């Protein structure tokens, strides 16, 4: 039975109801993706009975899930047959080059449980790994605990990178630089985008040995395979490969202030005079009341890591403390913004 107040709420109630119901929508998409509903429909339209039989699902429950996905704009329904929308086909099918399915599965399996303990994180100011998963396993040890988990996490990060890297590397004119080293660059999406944007640039992706196989695979399948290479290493402990331009994307938000300045100082020391560091992070407004996606991400970092999201002025202070002379920020209109620090 539909409650009348949910159909005709006043403006203030509508806002509250939207937030009450928001997690239901996310969880619907998470479960449909994790089950492989969109992958199943990538092969062609199916009825609810066909899907439930093929995937060993309860027929009534499967029909409810499918119809809910129609209401979310993720599926289409004609008569009794379901098919993917263009959005689902592009972003929710795991084999799509633009897929966000890996990030969704990571959100379902890791972030959703961690957020269930946000109240404890607010009380204590620390991440929720031990409370949620029963151990103090380091962040990336958890993501790399087995091949399936590692691939899901890296695929998710690659999908996000596909949405942001082209804008980040074009936020500033980087044409004068010759060699980019992307520290913690994972699958190489930013390095590839940078080489596509600047014809004279070559790039090296530095990341942990566990990333090597998937990174080399993504680079080899890109149009920049002849100008991008992968090198195994730890940017906190190993010597940094020589470069006149370093990049770190979604790295500093993992760490507290002291660890971040330590990394920035290592990068500054490795750069030649006139070199630069390109930082890709989600920028908070200076008064820390927006943008909303940045504030939600900052809470996400609270339950996941030792870090947080920061404002342009905070990044400028960190870079100056590490020795950089000039720091500029640029909002890209994507979920990641760009900061350029010059030596």
Q: Secondary structure of 7-72 in the HEC alphabet?
A: HCCCHHHHHHHHHHHHHHHHHHHHHHHHHCHHHHHHCCCEEHHHHHHHHCCCHHHHHHHHHHHHHC
Just give the CATH number of 4-91.
Answer: 1.10.10.10
Assess whether pLDDT exceeds 70 at residue 2: no
CB neighbours of 102 closer than 8 A, spacing ≥ 6?
Answer: 94, 151, 152, 153, 154, 155, 156, 157, 158, 159
Q: Which of 7-16, 122-131, 232-241, 276-285 has the least mean pLDDT?
A: 7-16
Question: Is 119 a residue whose pLDDT tops 90?
Answer: yes
Q: Region 305-312: what's the mean pLDDT?
A: 96
Alpha helices in 198-287 (DSSP H): 212-220, 257-270
Note the pLDDT of residue 122: 98
Domain with CATH 1.10.10.10 in the chain: 4-91
pLDDT of the residue at 194? 98
* Spatial separation of the C-alpha atoms in residues 223 and 100, rounded to whole Å: 21
- C-alpha distance from residue 105 to each of 31, 101, 108, 187, 287 (Å): 8, 6, 5, 18, 33
Nearest one of 247, 198, 246, 207 to 230, comparing CA atoms: 207
The predicted pLDDT at position 144 comes to 72
Candidate CATH numbers 3.40.50.720, 3.40.50.150, 3.40.250.10, 3.10.20.880; the one for domain 160-286+303-342: 3.40.50.150
pLDDT at residue 3 is higher than 60: no
Q: Is the dihedral of CA 328, 318, 288, 30 positive or negative?
A: positive
Tally of CA atoms within 13 A in the half-sphere of 26 that contains its CB:
16
Listed in order, the ranges of the chain carrying CATH 3.40.50.150 are: 160-286+303-342
Can you list the pairs that 130-135 forms with residues at least 24 positions away whose Cβ atoms lie under 8 Å? Answer: none
pTM: predicted TM-score of the whole model, two decimal places: 0.91
- For 23-46, what is the mean pLDDT? 97
Mean pLDDT of 260-285: 98
Q: pLDDT category, 33, cuts 50, 70, 90?
A: very high
Q: What is the DSSP string of 289-328?
A: ---HHHHHHHHHHHHHSS---EEHHHHHHHHHHTT-SEEE
Q: What percent of the chain has pLDDT over 70?
A: 95
Lowest mean pLDDT among 8-22, 132-146, 286-300: 132-146
CA angle, residues 299, 117, 12, in degrees to nearest 5: 65
SS3 category, 249: strand
Given a cut of 80, is residue 7 above it in pLDDT? no
Residues that are catalytic: 253
- At 88-110, the pLDDT tens digits run 999 999 999 889 998 899 899 88
Q: Is 122 helix (H, G, I), strand (E, B) or coil?
A: helix
């Amino acid at each position: 039975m539909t409650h009348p107040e949910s159909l005709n709420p006043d403006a203030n109630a509508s806002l509250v109801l939207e937030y009450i119901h928001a997690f239901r929508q996310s969880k619907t998409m998470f479960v449909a993706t994790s089950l492989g509903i969109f992958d199943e429909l990538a092969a062609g339209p199916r009825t609810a009975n066909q899907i439930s039989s093929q995937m060993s699902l309860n027929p009534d429950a499967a029909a409810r899930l499918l119809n809910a996905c129609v209401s979310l704009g993720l599926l289409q329904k004609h008569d009794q047959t379901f098919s993917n929308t263009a959005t689902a086909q592009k972003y929710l099918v795991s084999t799509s080059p633009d897929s966000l399915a890996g990030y969704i599965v990571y959100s379902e399996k890791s972030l959703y449980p961690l957020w269930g303990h946000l109240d404890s994180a607010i009380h204590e100011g620390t991440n929720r790994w031990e409370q949620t998963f029963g151990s103090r396993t380091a962040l990336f040890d958890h993501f790399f605990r087995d091949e399936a988990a590692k691939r899901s996490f890296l695929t998710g990060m690659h999908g996000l990178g596909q949405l942001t890297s082209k804008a980040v590397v074009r936020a500033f004119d980087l044409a004068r630089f010759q060699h980019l080293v992307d520290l913690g660059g994972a699958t190489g999406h930013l390095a590839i985008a940078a080489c596509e944007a600047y014809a004279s640039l070559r790039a090296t992706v530095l990341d942990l040995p566990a990333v090597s196989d998937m990174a080399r695979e993504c680079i080899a399948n890109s149009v920049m395979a002849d100008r991008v290479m992968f090198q195994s290493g730890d940017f906190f402990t190993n010597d940094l490969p020589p470069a006149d331009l370093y990049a770190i994307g979604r790295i500093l938000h993992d760490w507290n202030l002291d660890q971040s300045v330590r990394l920035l100082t290592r990068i500054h020391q490795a750069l030649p005079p006139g070199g630069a560091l390109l930082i890709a992070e989600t920028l908070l407004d200076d008064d820390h009341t927006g943008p909303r996606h940045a504030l939600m991400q900052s809470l996400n970092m609270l339950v996941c890591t030792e870090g947080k999201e920061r404002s342009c002025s905070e990044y400028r202070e960190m870079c100056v403390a590490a020795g950089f002379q000039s720091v500029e920020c640029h909002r890209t209109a994507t979920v990641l913004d760009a900061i350029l620090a010059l030596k």
